[in-house]
Structure 1
């Protein structure tokens, strides 16, 4: 892809031609709409992520401020520290299973979420869920960026103490100070620059990040434990409540824990596609993610307990935690300690750059949004361009309003997972139980009415209706959570929202399975992943993927010597 030249602005036609995205070296029979170099299956040269890379990714991805904050925020509900942590730990263990399930298909067929969604929702229907995910990714991208910006502000203050004394030129209604806004844009500048690095080239960055972040979090924990002279959970006595009330609070914490990683259940395909072998993303995810995510939750609870013991107020986010530490070391006497805090804040801020570049909250980041943009506008968007646009849009949602309090943060996490749960459920049920792991790659890149995934006018009404209907039970609770003033809803409606992710996921799984029993979708093969195995065999023999579908694909298959095979059986990636 070449740079834009001054001559490209001579006319609208010249400009549009100049910004067109690059196409892969793959034979196509249709126009640009369904494919570009980032939507096409990842060729072998790009499948460079092995087990160690995935382990490093999950360690760096899970060990972040959002997991830390969810732990410290959970105890504000009135639960004991142990109850809050167990709820979050089991939530991460549960969500890990869902992540692995939705990573299998993309690792076998080397495609990301936008293309994978076409097989379940239809080539046109996929645009609905792509748009849903893109909106959620913009919000989380902005939240992560604000978090990173606050850490940048602490880092600057550690070197230049008078940074915190600069006058604030913004009104109180803005919800942010001038210094924090400046730090936010510094973070955005760094993040925006790194957005031009393709996801497949970030493996070494994640390996280094995974080591540094864990060192930082342990350093924070040790400092606070020494300062507080050990752990004292008595500062957070469990509030007196009925068994029924406590059960719902535990479920609310559990649902918030699911929310921190809910996007990964959908986004996993965007990194699983780069796996050298399908199992490379399996075991390291199953083992690494729940451990790496549960520890920061625990550390957040421990530090919140220590901070309440020392200051009388629990510090539930990382920037306040570091800011308090900084205040303990006056400039003239403790330059070494201040430099150490500068390093801690800088590393954590850089970790948020990596989180936004990947998927975190994952997921919840610029890579999924960028993948969505390549699907919505494949002629003009690549992953790099999509990441840059997602960065800019993340500013527009004023993320500092979301992190105003611990309760607001937990509400955000619950609502975030609620929207993505039915999409993840449909993808899981469709791949394992409806299609039995067999996908016709060629049909994913055609809008021809005869294409396998054209369904009804390009929409799989089964999947679309399931997503919409499964969201309805928790809709009143969600509306109440985002309303400026409390709505008049029943206690039951409010409590249903507390289990929004689990409920919508379960409803979507059952509904989609049953509706496909009554209105079945034709299978390519009853043997699990038989098509993927055939594709791998032909790829090993040096075959080439032909992106064609519809009538032309059918004509091509008729001229093939083995005309009884599916079109997808003969289309594999170039070596």
Structure 2
């Protein structure tokens, strides 16, 4: 079974329903405005608020307001830059991330490298859903006057809803994100207004005027804020392949920077503010303390539930779904259901407890140790070794030049990850640099005669 995109015959056997084939112009259903709202909706979520809260430990802020703002800005600048670079293969060729990986890692190597993206996404899917389930439980407690109180049941119900919505793919994502982003940002502005009017003195004493640090913890938080997006910009192709054609690289870069700065940056700051005045690191619980009005709490909790769905639809459902399709060859709807069920069994409640915010930071830093090297290898492969030239038919030819695995890429991945663990606080950056240099050197000097050199600047 083959599909023809711009004259290139493409084998669709990688997925039973052909959903991993390249997207042509007629297959792209997301316009500029929905794309921007998609990233606003993704940025305004309770997982990101939890990260903002993580700078406050036992009511004491590790960073002051200026250090928090600087760390967030630097992280978002790097995030949007890598997004704009790594989305280009998907945007131009219409290929998903799991197919893009084949250029560097080969068909077999892609299975390992894709799992390193899929597993964190499933865990984040569970974390976001547990936070959303907590918010849904707050609603039910108020509406039933305390007669109902079960986060576990709410978590499962919310997960079922998300599985059903995700069956409709990017068509559902586009509309859910557009609606949710507007509503959720309004809710966050309302919370910000309450904080500034009722808790200004506490914020000044405990956050604004605190000494903080510009040392290693400051740079560690840059890595944490960056690492939270490390998994998402890694599979930028999964999103850009759905975006309408004819948009320049510069404009696409701004389409990442602007919404992420507005949403992610704002939520990080609100999270730090809420934790400062409450000493609580669980968003639904902390927001209920700040608002202290059952009727308004119902509204804000409803917005949290919407934020959960919006974020998972973009960042945590599509990537592992494609990975499952790649490995099992099942249809999209089956794979997306399996993804939702795996998220239920990921034990997210262990990472969102009030006393485990540092555990969440460590979780991000650890998986970033593997994702930094992968994105470095992808960028070097596409921009330096292949000069942005893609042999599309070969990416779908299981017996072609990308058959098996690329030893240079696999070795560079583990060298970079190993180096990252030497300084876990800077894991993403260390892994990115070391893996990038290693891959360049290995591609040039090692594995003479490797078929993966074909079409590169090091071709024999």
- TM-score clears 0.5: yes
CA–CA distance in structure 2, aligned partners of residues 426 and 83 of structure 1: 31
Q: Report whether the alignment pairs 1:469 with 2:415.
A: yes
Segments of 5+ residues of structure 1 without an aligned counterpart are 1-22, 167-178, 308-313, 330-337, 360-364, 476-492, 527-575
* 1:317 aligns to 2:293 (yes or no): no
- Counterpart of 1:266? 234
Alignment of 1:376-525 (within 5 A): 376-378=327-329, 380-382=330-332, 384-404=333-353, 405-448=356-399, 451-454=400-403, 458-475=404-421, 493=422, 496-519=423-446, 522=453, 524=455
Quickly say closer, same or farther: Cα 1:347–1:135, change in 2 above 3 A.
Answer: same
Measured at CA, do residues 148 and 34 of structure 1 come closer, stay the same or move farther in structure 2, by a change above 3 Å? closer
Q: 2:206 aligns with which of 232, 235, 247?
A: 235
Greater share of residues in helix: 2
* Counterpart-to-counterpart distance in 1, 2:274 and 2:394: 53
- Find the aligned partners of 1:240 and 1:283 in 2 and give their Cα distance: 34
Q: Which one of the candidate residues 98, 102, 106 is aligned to 2:82?
A: 98
Closer, same or farther in 2 for the Cα pair 1:36/1:189, shift >3 Å? closer
**In structure 2, do the counterparts of structure 1 residues 121 and 525 end up closer, same or farther at CA, with 3 Å as the change threshold?**
closer
C-alpha change, 1:385 and 1:238, in structure 2 (3 Å) is farther
Distance (Å, rounded) in 1 between the aligned partners of 2:339 and 2:322: 11
Aligned to 2:100: 116
Higher relative contact order (CA 8 A, sep 6+): 2
Rounded Cα–Cα distance in structure 2 between residues aligned with 1:189 and 1:29: 35
- Check the 8 A contact 2:2/2:12 in 1, yes or no: no
Normalised by the length of structure 2, the TM-score is 0.89
Q: Could you tell me which residue of structure 2 aligns to residue 559 of structure 1?
A: none
The residue aligned with 1:73 is: 54
- Alpha-carbon distance between aligned partners in 1 of 2:456 and 2:342, rounded to the nearest angstrom: 43
> Alpha-carbon deviation of 1:108?
0.3
In the TM superposition, what are the counterparts of 1:47-446 in structure 2 within 5 Å? 47-76=28-57, 78-163=62-147, 179-229=150-200, 232-236=203-207, 247-277=215-245, 278-279=247-248, 281-307=252-278, 314-325=279-290, 328-329=292-293, 338-359=294-315, 365-378=316-329, 380-382=330-332, 384-404=333-353, 405-446=356-397
SS in 1 for 2:390: coil
CA contact (8 A) 2:385 2:456 kept: no
Say whether the 8 Å CA contact 1:422–1:508 is kept in structure 2.
yes
TM-score when scaled to structure 1? 0.72
Mark the runs of 5 or more structure 2 residues left unpaired by the alignment. none
Deviation larger for 508-517 or 138-147: 508-517
CA distance in structure 2 between the aligned counterparts of 1:31 and 1:39, rounded to whole angstroms: 7
Q: What is the number of equivalent residue pairs in this alignment?
A: 442
Q: Please state how far the C-alpha of 1:28 moved relative to its aligned partner.
A: 6.8
| Aligned-pair CA distance for 1:501 | 0.7
Are the equivalent residues in 2 in contact too, given 1:66–1:260 (CA < 8 A)? no
Q: Which structure: larger Rg? A: 1
Q: 1:65 to 1:437 in 2, by over 3 A?
A: same
Indicate conservation of the 8 Å contact 2:12/2:396, yes or no: no
What's the CA shift string for 1:141-162, capped at 9, x where partnerless? 1111111111111222232231
